[in-house]
Amino acid sequence: MDAAALQKKAEGVASAVGSALGYWRTPTTSLGARILTRYYALLQASIAEQVAGPDPEVDLAAVQRHTEMGHGLGVVQQSDKFPHEMHVFALNSGHFASYAKSRGLAISEIAVQKKPKVWSEVTEADRPKLISVADLLLRVPEMQLLAPECLGKRPLSFRIAKTQDLSSAMWGKSNKGSATTTTRGSILIEPNGTVTVDWLESLGLPFANIEAVTAVQKYHRPHFVGEVQHPSEDLWWDHFEHYESDRSGKSIISPFWGTADALILHLVTLYALSIVVRYLPSLWQRVERGDLDHIRAMLEGYMSEFDHVGSAMALGRITGRTLILTQPGTFGAPI
């Protein structure tokens, strides 16, 4: 990449990051304002990430050509049961399509063929491509306890740990001289009688041969164990997409739209919530001070968690470096 292209990229990244900080630092006095400012901050951060990439042709002007076509996402309500039956969809054009492609997603496979304005316009072929706002929130690792409790549904992200103390478990089993190892990993779920092996296997998690375990010696509750096969010299969790922050131990996210990318998860979730705040005042009134005030409490918790992890996540993506910010007493903090 020549010096002129680098200069152009640097100026573009600086501009997008400056815009992101402007939104992030905007004083907010309400939940709705926080949702809007955080969504636009993350949107600008995703633009900065694209510009910072290695492709010399992708500068701020190139990314703008996609943002001019819209956000690249949309929502459609199946009923007034929010957030369970408000669904998000991706489009073939706009910013999200461009950003998703930069992250290796096959946008043509996940985007709806026809943009629906009402639920009756959603075709049978497109329905599997939609995801509810509830299912997005259930995927946020920091919300593994709160979201299932508020939404009355099973979690869609799970703490994981290396299995050590089960008679049927293998502590990285392999034949001598073998190039591969099978590590047994525990999938930790808070007590919930509705979680089954069949259901976990349907989520596309990176574990094979999942089994339920009733022994509680180490984790103090029943849990599940599965296998991950990987090269003997590598760490087992380096061979699947996982997540960790100072607010969440090492976790896996149930894939959606072909990815378990936490930043994409937040971008899509905040987009959907911003639509409610901006364009659906009657629904937002129900959330703020009506029959959905329990959802407001959950969203307050979600925004608090995002404020703790969002900026570090975005900065890590822009710089290509892992940024770890920890507070004393939190996951990952030095002892």
Q: pLDDT at position 136, please?
A: 98
- Quote the pLDDT of residue 162: 78
Give just the sign of the alpha carbon dihedral 321, 40, 128, 252. Answer: positive
Answer yes or no: is pLDDT of 73 > 90. yes
Predicted confidence at residue 222, as pLDDT, reads 67
User: pTM (2 decimals)?
Assistant: 0.91
Contacts of 127 (CB under 8 A, 6+ apart): none
Tell me the pLDDT band of 305, cut-offs 50, 70 and 90. Answer: very high
In terms of pLDDT, which residue wins out, 161 or 89?
89
pLDDT computed for residue 175 by the predictor? 44
List pLDDT tens digits, range 54-66: 898 899 999 999 9
The string of DSSP codes covering 279-323 is H-HHHHHHHHHSTTHHHHHHHHHHHHHHHHHHHHHHHHHHHTS--
pLDDT of residue 321: 77
Query: In whole angstroms, what separates CA 43 from the centre of its chain?
Result: 14
What residue ranges do the domains of the chain occupy? 3-140+260-319, 157-253
What whole-number distance in Å separates Cα of residue 169 and Cα of residue 162?
10
Angle, alpha carbons 7-13-105 (nearest 5°): 115
Residue 174: the pLDDT is 44
Burial label, 84 (beta-carbon count in 10 A; 0-12, 13-18, 19+): middle
What pLDDT sits at residue 190? 61
Q: Percent of the chain scored above 90 by pLDDT?
A: 68
Alpha-carbon distance of 123 to 113, in angstroms, equals 9
What are the pLDDT digits (tens) for 214-234?
Answer: 766 565 666 888 999 888 888
Sheet with strand 223-231: strands edge to edge: 208-213, 223-231, 180-188, 157-162, 248-253, 243-245
Q: How confident is the model at residue 165 (pLDDT cuts 50, 70, 90)?
A: very low
User: pLDDT grade, residue 9 (50/70/90)?
Assistant: very high
When the pLDDT of each residue in the chain is averaged and rounded to a whole number, the result is 89
| Pairwise CA distance, residues 144 & 187, whole Å | 13
pLDDT at 108 over 50: yes
Residue 276 has pLDDT above 70, yes or no: yes
Report pLDDT for 232: 84
Please check the confidence at residue 301 and state whether its pLDDT lies above 90: yes
